[in-house]
């Protein structure tokens, strides 16, 4: 005979059996579902890996391209600098060649001094004074054009300072050309004989000063040569020895171009008065130019 509790026990057993069956069958169902989904997931994972690989390759290629671009820019900059340096060197070489050629073939004016004794027109044994001239010679290879020249005899009672600028007390002598190898002589003023005694006693200083300015043919650039020499004597004129004196060059007042005391001036052609022949009694040096 079956009681009421037996029926409930059978129901509970049936439910437990069904639950056990379900639990036992779940791993197999899950495995079947997993085996069904694996090919799709695998393909997706593989595709993702390929995409990542391509992305990495693209990044590497892009980096290489950037490095190549930077290298190209650097090499181009270096080539440009080299080209600029080469052009500058070529330009400097041309300028140096032009400067060398200009210096080699330009005119060069140098100066040398000289003296002349003036005699009495009635008594040729009697010396009245001394004249001074200055010769300028073109020792360059081309003619000197638009020439201007000046000469004076400057007197002073003291030594001349190093920066002394001789005054231009007369108009310069101007002429057109001085050919290479030729020379031009300027006739300067006269100095009375008795002034040698004053020079000997160191009462006065007499300086022959002159300059020569010129240009190259076809050029407006002006050049200048300066000359200065002091009249010096160690022999007293009272001894009866005539004209015993020397012309001592004054280095600080001699020069060419940039070493001159003054800068050359523009060429202004004009007529200069003719230097008169010395009179029987030379002028007072205080008024001679």
Is the predicted pLDDT of residue 36 greater than 60, yes or no? no
108: pLDDT confidence band, cut at 50, 70 and 90?
Answer: very high
Nearest of 146, 107, 126 to residue 282 by alpha carbon: 126
CB atoms within 10 A of CB 160: 18
pLDDT at 104: 74
Measured over the CA atoms of residue 269, residue 188, residue 211 and residue 205, the dihedral's sign is negative
pLDDT at 15: 58
Q: What is the pTM of this model?
A: 0.58
Angle 237-242-247 from CA coordinates, rounded to 5°: 85
246/115 Cα distance (integer angstroms): 10
For residue 206, list its beta bridge partners: 155
Which tops the pLDDT comparison, 285 or 121? 121
Report the pLDDT averaged over residues 34-38: 53
Is the predicted pLDDT of residue 112 greater than 70, yes or no? yes
**pLDDT digits over 113-126, tens only?**
766 666 666 666 67
150/37 Cα distance (integer angstroms): 118
CB atoms within 10 A of CB 4: 7
pLDDT at 286: 39
250: pLDDT confidence band, cut at 50, 70 and 90?
Answer: confident
pLDDT at 278: 41
Report the pLDDT averaged over residues 75-88: 86
**pLDDT digits over 123-176, tens only?**
666 777 788 888 899 999 899 999 999 888 889 888 888 878 877 777 888 888
Which tops the pLDDT comparison, 33 or 174? 174
**pLDDT digits over 222-232, tens only?**
999 999 888 88
Cα Rg of the chain (Å, integer):
55
């Amino acid at each position: 005979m079956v009681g009421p509790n037996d029926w409930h026990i059978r129901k509970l057993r049936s439910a437990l059996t069904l639950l056990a069956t379900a639990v036992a069958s779940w791993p197999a169902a899950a495995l079947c579902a997993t085996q069904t989904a694996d090919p799709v997931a695998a393909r997706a994972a593989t595709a993702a890996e390929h995409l990542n690989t391509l992305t990495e390759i693209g990044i590497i290629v892009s980096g290489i391209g950037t490095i190549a671009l930077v290298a190209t820019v650097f090499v181009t900059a270096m080539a440009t600098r080299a080209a600029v340096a080469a052009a500058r060197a070529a330009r400097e070489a041309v300028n140096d060649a032009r400067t060398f050629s200009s210096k080699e073939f330009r005119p060069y004016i140098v100066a040398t001094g000289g003296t002349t004794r003036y005699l009495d027109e009635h008594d040729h044994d009697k010396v009245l004074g001394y004249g001074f001239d200055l010769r300028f010679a073109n020792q360059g290879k081309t003619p000197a054009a638009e020439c201007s020249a000046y000469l004076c005899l400057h007197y002073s009672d003291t030594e001349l300072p190093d920066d002394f600028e001789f005054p231009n007390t007369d108009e310069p002598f101007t002429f057109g050309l001085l050919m290479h190898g030729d020379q031009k002589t300027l006739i300067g003023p006269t100095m009375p004989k008795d002034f040698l005694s004053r020079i000997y006693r160191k009462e006065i200083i007499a300086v022959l000063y002159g300059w020569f300015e010129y240009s190259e043919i076809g050029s407006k650039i002006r050049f200048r040569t300066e000359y200065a020499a002091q009249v010096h004597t160690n022999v007293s004129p009272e001894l009866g020895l005539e004209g015993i004196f020397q012309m001592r060059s004054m280095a600080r007042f001699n020069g060419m171009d940039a070493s001159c005391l003054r800068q050359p001036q523009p060429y202004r052609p004009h007529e200069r008065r003719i230097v008169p022949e010395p009179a029987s009694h030379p002028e007072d040096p205080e008024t001679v130019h």
